[in-house]
């Protein structure tokens, strides 16, 4: 805890120094501050102070600092650098981050950046750029280590010494044949303590679980989580290893996917940006939110039309309007909860669209139980408290309570079922279940809830 407070304090001290224009104090903090905290401080500063901070960052820290920034900000900084320092920075950035940067760059900047890369790095970058950025191949790093089965432990360690500086991770070393076909892996610890003459074939765990380079990045993260894998090999269609997904890549993917699902469930359209909230332009935020807001606004008129159609019943017993928002909101809340639970379960691979009947039966029972409990509570409230605004007596109180109770039970049960089935239907039609967002479900169940409530009132209260 003290260490965390110390890190936060460094970031705050650096930010304060830049605000006050104390560049000497900021320079003194540079050797102590971690690149991640340096990037966080940079993101919190206004434009002119950012430019001043960039001039203070040591050349040896710049590559690590850039890798901690949102890609869009890193691309902007790279675009303003001169060729010599730019080439030095590009040489130090890991290949998977380099590809992310290249994908974000405008064509002119990308071409110039390619020109500054070494031949080997240019080949690696071009190979990785063949894969879309949201696939395992687009997120993998090619900086990994391999050994062959017919090597001895001594020979393998000698081979690893030659690539130790280039490999991003040496904790897991992959075993391949002469054509690069994945045969398993060995741990560095096992290799270090093995008999020098022991063959790699004897140390190989023969675990060939891997993900195709063309597979969605989310599948890669699910595999790593399911099998508790430190790194995940990425292979081509023939089983040849092309790269690995590392823990930091997995965390980045998980954050991106969670953000994307959360935004879509909230009705926010467009691509997920890696820019921080405060640095995202207002107009971009408006564009991403406008479509759903306008669409749902027009759909919301359906509820108004339903109310207008039943104005005579509402005029006859005004107390009906008091319970209307509660009944409608209960459906939206339970439908949204069911959708969230189902979308999460599908994203974790807990069931497929083929299990729709099992899900429907489960949520039907949940809806019935929730609806029954809330209905009983509301009916007791009507009977025991007898609110003055109801202006009802005798048998009409019982009928009114029955109307509210049955409407609540029906609305909650139906809404829970709708919220569960809609995402499954979207997945079956090859659509993103998160698009069936909570606002959309709420709009649908608002209209159905009003129809249920007002039709029941018309029937039970003889309006």
Over residues 360-409, the pLDDT tens digits come to 999 999 999 999 999 999 999 888 776 665 666 666 788 888 999 999 99
Per-residue pLDDT at 436: 61
Q: Do residues 126 and 158 share a domain?
A: no
Q: Do residues 52 and 180 share a domain?
A: no
Q: Do residues 243 and 167 share a domain?
A: yes
Q: Do residues 237 and 315 share a domain?
A: no
Domain count, the chain: 3
pLDDT digits (tens, 9 = 90+) for 268-326: 555 655 565 566 677 776 776 677 667 767 777 777 787 878 787 777 777 788 888 89
Per-residue pLDDT at 229: 93
More confident residue, 162 or 347: 162
Q: Do residues 93 and 169 share a domain?
A: no
* CATH assignment at residue 176: 3.10.580.10
Q: Do residues 93 and 186 share a domain?
A: no
Average pLDDT value for the chain: 85
Let me know if residue 57 belongs to a domain: yes
Q: Do residues 42 and 120 share a domain?
A: yes
What pTM was estimated for this model as a whole? 0.67
User: How confident is the model over 328-354, as a mean pLDDT?
Assistant: 83
pLDDT band at 6 (very low <50, low <70, confident <90, very high): low
Per-residue pLDDT at 210: 97
**SS3 string of the chain?**
CHHHHHHHHHHHHHHHHHHCCCHHHHHHHCCCCCHHHHHHHHHHCCHHHHHHHHCCCCCCCHHHHHHHCCHHHHHHHHHCCCHHHHHHHHHHCCHHHHHHHHHHCCHHHHHHHHHHCCHHHHHHHHHHCCCCCCEHHHHCECCCCEEECCCEHHHHHHHHHHHCCCCCCCCEEEEECCCCEEEEEEEHHHHHHCCCCCEHHHHCCCCCCCEECCCEHHHHHHHHHHCCCCCEEEECCCCEEEEEECHHHHHHHHHHHHHHHHHHHCCCCCCCCCCCHHHCCHHHHHHHHHHHHHHHHHHHHHHHHHHHHCHHHHHHCCHHHHHHHHHHHHHHHHHHHHHHHHHHHHHCCCCCHHHHHHHHHHHHHHHHHHHHHHHHHHHHHHHHHCCHHHCCCCHHHHHHHHHHHHHHHHHHHHHHHHHHHHHHHHHHCCCCHHHCCHHHHHHHHHHHHHHHHHHHHHHHCCC
User: How confident is the model over 95-107, as a mean pLDDT?
Assistant: 90
Q: Do residues 130 and 151 share a domain?
A: no
Per-residue pLDDT at 259: 72
Q: Do residues 6 and 102 share a domain?
A: yes
Let me know if residue 114 belongs to a domain: yes
pLDDT digits (tens, 9 = 90+) for 30-63: 998 999 999 989 988 888 899 999 999 999 999 9
Supply the range of the domain harboring residue 338: 281-460
Per-residue pLDDT at 272: 58
Per-residue pLDDT at 5: 45
Per-residue pLDDT at 33: 92
Let me know if residue 262 belongs to a domain: no
Q: Do residues 66 and 186 share a domain?
A: no
pLDDT digits (tens, 9 = 90+) for 9-21: 888 899 999 988 8
pLDDT digits (tens, 9 = 90+) for 125-150: 888 888 998 899 999 999 899 999 99
* pLDDT beyond 90 at 266: no
* CATH assignment at residue 9: 1.25.60.10
Q: Do residues 375 and 329 share a domain?
A: yes
Let me know if residue 219 belongs to a domain: yes
Per-residue pLDDT at 1: 43
Per-residue pLDDT at 296: 67
User: How confident is the model over 195-210, as a mean pLDDT?
Assistant: 95
Per-residue pLDDT at 288: 66
End-of-domain residue from the set 134, 167, 200: 134
């Amino acid at each position: 805890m003290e260490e965390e407070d110390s890190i936060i304090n460094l970031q705050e001290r650096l930010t304060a120094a830049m605000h006050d224009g104390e560049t000497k104090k900021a320079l003194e903090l540079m050797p102590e501050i971690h690149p991640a905290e340096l990037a966080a401080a940079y993101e919190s500063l206004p434009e002119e102070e950012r430019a001043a901070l960039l001039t203070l960052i040591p050349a040896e820290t710049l590559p690590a600092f850039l890798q901690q920034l949102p890609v869009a900000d890193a691309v902007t900084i790279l675009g303003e650098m001169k060729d010599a320092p730019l080439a030095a920075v590009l040489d130090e950035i890991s290949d998977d981050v380099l590809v992310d940067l290249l994908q974000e760059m405008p064509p002119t900047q990308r071409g110039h950046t390619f020109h500054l890369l070494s031949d080997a790095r240019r080949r690696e970058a071009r190979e990785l750029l063949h894969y879309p950025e949201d696939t395992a191949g687009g997120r993998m790093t090619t900086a990994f280590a391999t050994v062959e089965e017919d090597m001895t432990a001594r020979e393998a360690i000698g081979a690893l010494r030659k690539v130790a500086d280039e490999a991003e991770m040496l904790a897991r070393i992959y075993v391949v044949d002469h054509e690069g076909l994945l045969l398993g892996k060995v741990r560095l610890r096992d290799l270090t303590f093995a008999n020098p003459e022991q063959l790699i074939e004897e140390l190989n765990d023969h675990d060939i679980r891997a993900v195709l380079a063309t597979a969605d990045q989310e599948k890669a993260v699910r595999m790593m989580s399911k099998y508790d894998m430190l790194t995940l090999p990425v292979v081509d269609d023939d089983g040849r290893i092309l790269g690995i997904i590392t823990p930091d890549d997995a965390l980045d993917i998980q954050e991106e996917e969670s953000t994307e699902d959360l935004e879509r469930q909230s009705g926010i359209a467009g691509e997920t940006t890696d820019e921080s909230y405060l640095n995202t332009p207002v107009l971009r935020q408006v564009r991403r939110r406008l479509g759903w807001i306008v669409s749902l606004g027009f759909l919301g008129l359906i509820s108004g039309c339903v109310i207008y159609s039943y104005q005579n019943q509402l005029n006859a017993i005004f107390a009906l309007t008091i319970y209307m928002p509660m009944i409608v909101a209960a459906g939206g809340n339970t439908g949204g909860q069911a959708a969230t639970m189902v979308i999460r379960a599908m994203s974790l691979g807990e069931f497929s669209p083929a299990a729709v009947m099992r899900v429907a039966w489960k949520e039907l029972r949940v809806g019935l139980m929730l609806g029954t409990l809330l209905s009983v509570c509301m009916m007791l409230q009507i009977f025991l408290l007898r609110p003055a605004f109801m202006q009802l007596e005798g048998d009409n109180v019982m009928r009114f309570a029955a109307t509210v109770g049955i409407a609540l039970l029906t609305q909650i049960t139906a809404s829970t079922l709708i919220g569960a089935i809609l995402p499954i239907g979207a997945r079956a039609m090859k659509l993103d279940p998160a698009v069936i967002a909570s606002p959309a479900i709420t709009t649908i169940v608002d209209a159905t809830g009003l129809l249920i409530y007002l039709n029941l009132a018309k029937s039970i209260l003889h309006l």
